[in-house]
Amino acid sequence: MTWTLADPPAKPLPVILKPLRDELLSSWLQRTACFYSVSAHDLLVQFGVAPTTQIRTIDFDLPASVQHRLSWCLRTNTLRIRNMCHSIPIVRAQRFVAISEAVSRCATGDLRWQGNPTTRPIFRSWFESWQISCGVCRRPFHIPQSRNVEAKAIKKVPETLWQDAMAGSALFAQYISGKPCGILPPKIVWLLASAPMRRHDGGGTGFRLIVPESSRPVFEAIHSSPPTTIRTKNPFKRLTLLAAFHRFDQHPAAWVGELAEAATEAGRRAIFAVLENLPSTIRDALTHRGCLGRISAGYLKHASRDIELHDIRLKLAVNLRQIDQTCLKLIAVASQHLPESHI
């Protein structure tokens, strides 16, 4: 995304509304614009920042020059501006961040701003799919009641599941921001956990092996298809995905062995197909128990990034082969036709 800056205003805004904890930058701009009886678009024009098609896009990938301009106009610092944005590029946001409608809601926040819809703030944690607790009140997001009898019977999620899901949320946040986050990226973990299990081992998928709490009917959606993203409004599914990510990261080689042992024949082939696309160092460490300890801790912390780069290299190799084959076909066809005269 490109940004253009016009001349700045002569002075910053005289009155600035105090930003709230966990509030998005776009929300702060909209509340400030409402105070001055203008639109957020007009406010950005006043700041000399070329407005984008949607004010929501300002919550992603702000260049340093725009951060500095906004911090001066709003009488704050660039660190606060940066912290009010999502820590993920907008090109990856579609899989992990909601844009227009929040994936989570907080009952406390809804009640607090119920009578002021025009100045209602928008909070970052409500739109980030890996968050399972409100960034304002720090409480777990409310799990709504369902018509499902089993859902109504559940008084609360087991404490162990909450704790592991919270740890998985923190681990996922590190993955999003590019920090060390474990040996496998979450997508690979979920693919391995999606392998079908034998009936005498409980049936379903590997999620029931890693997260036994998901055997309840209310968690059934997790077993319908292999998940590739955590962006879902089903709170039980998100808890399972995050808990599985954390628990797998604790003992990755052991979980690979248990999943392969309990999987059906088709599930075992699916597991080995996923492992086959991993770098040889990681694949050998996961398939031979005891080998994981021989790899340096520094490499293991960044292994998930190495795996994603390895996957990109494999895809580029496939594309190059396809381009090479297409060129050979074009050369073969061209050799069968005489050149046309343009005289």
Question: Residue 55 in contact with residue 26, Cβ under 8 Å?
Answer: yes
Question: Is pLDDT of 213 > 70?
Answer: yes
pLDDT mean over 247-271: 89
The more confidently predicted of residues 229 and 247 is 247
Rounded Cα gap, residues 306 and 315, in angstroms: 14
**No. of H helices and E strands in the chain?**
16, 0
For the chain, what is the largest distance between any 2 Cα atoms, rounded to a whole number of angstroms? Answer: 86
pLDDT band at 151 (very low <50, low <70, confident <90, very high): very low
In angstroms, the Cα distances linking 149 to 145, 152, 218, 233 are 10, 5, 9, 19
Enter the pTM of the model. Answer: 0.76
Higher per-residue pLDDT: 218 or 309: 309
Higher pLDDT pick, 291 / 80: 80
For position 62, what pLDDT does the model report? 84
What's the whole-number average pLDDT of the chain?
79
The pLDDT score that the predictor gives to residue 118 is: 64
Residues 78-137 have pLDDT tens digits of 999 999 998 887 777 777 888 878 888 777 767 777 666 667 888 998 888 888 888 888
Q: How confident is the model at residue 74 (pLDDT cuts 50, 70, 90)?
A: very high
Nearest to 40 by CA among 58, 60, 55, 18: 55
pLDDT band at 148 (very low <50, low <70, confident <90, very high): very low
Length of the chain as a residue count: 343
Q: Tokens for 216? A: 């309840």
pLDDT score recorded for residue 146: 43
As a whole number, mean pLDDT of residues 157-161 equals 82
Give the burial class of 87: count Cβ atoms within 10 A of its Cβ; 0-12 exposed, 13-18 middle, 19 or more buried. middle
Question: Taking the CA atoms of the chain, what radius of gyration do you get in angstroms?
Answer: 25
Tokens encoding 50: 């070329």
Tokens of 7: 């001349």
Lowest mean pLDDT among 1-10, 45-54, 63-72, 332-341: 332-341
3-class SS at 270?
A: helix
| pLDDT tens string 135-147 | 888 777 765 444 4
Residue 246 scores a pLDDT above 90 = yes
| 3 vs 40, higher pLDDT | 40
| Beta carbons of 168 and 122 less than 8 angstroms apart | no
Buried/exposed 179-204: b ≥16 CB within 10 Å, e otherwise: eebbbbbbbbbbbbbbbbbeeeeeeb
Q: Which alpha helices (H) appear in the chain, and where do they start and end?
A: 25-35, 40-47, 64-73, 78-83, 90-96, 107-112, 149-153, 159-176, 186-193, 207-210, 235-250, 252-262, 265-276, 280-287, 297-301, 303-335
